């Protein structure tokens, strides 16, 4: 009795449709779940819609965080403050055998002035 042939099945993943293009980034971020005590993290990429941040602790989908973004400009250091919402989260093992939580966040509350500063920063990275 011969082996039964199975048709090749390919799993397809719907293509991502982003409203804003992402750019690779690497800049420090401070985050807080309470607005009173901020912890350190890093942004791994960014867009006008949100960020990928690497956090040392797990967050929950839908959770809001206060963020402070720190990045350079021609005139010095910019600090942008925003409130974001956690959209997705994944775990990654780092080179030093510690974990970080790769967390996708979208901007919920950011001033027009801060968004303009952030857009200019993104343009400088592209």
Please write the tens of the pLDDT for every residue from 34-83: 878 999 999 999 999 999 999 999 999 999 999 999 998 777 889 999 99
Contact 92, 104 (CB under 8 A): no
The residue ranges of DSSP E strands in 1-126, in sequence order, are: 23-32, 39-46, 50-55, 64-73, 76-93, 99-110
**65 or 14: which carries more pLDDT confidence?**
65
**Domain definitions of the chain by residue range:** 23-125
CA distance 74 to 15: 36
**28 or 14: which carries more pLDDT confidence?**
28
What is the enclosing helix (H) or strand (E) of 121? helix 112-125
Q: What is the pTM of this model?
A: 0.80
CATH architecture of 23-125: Beta Barrel (2.40)
């Amino acid at each position: 009795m011969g082996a039964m042939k199975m048709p090749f099945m390919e799993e397809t993943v719907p293509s991502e449709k982003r409203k804003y293009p992402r750019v690779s980034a690497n800049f420090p971020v401070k985050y807080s779940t309470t607005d009173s005590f901020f912890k350190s993290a890093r942004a791994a990429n960014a867009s006008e819609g949100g960020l990928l941040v690497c956090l040392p602790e797990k967050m929950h989908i839908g959770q809001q965080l206060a963020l402070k973004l720190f990045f350079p400009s021609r005139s010095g250091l910019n600090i942008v403050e925003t409130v974001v919402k956690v959209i997705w989260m994944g775990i990654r093992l780092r080179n030093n055998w510690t974990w970080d939580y790769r967390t996708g966040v979208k901007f919920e509350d950011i001033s027009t002035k801060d968004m303009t500063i952030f857009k200019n920063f993104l343009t400088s990275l592209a």
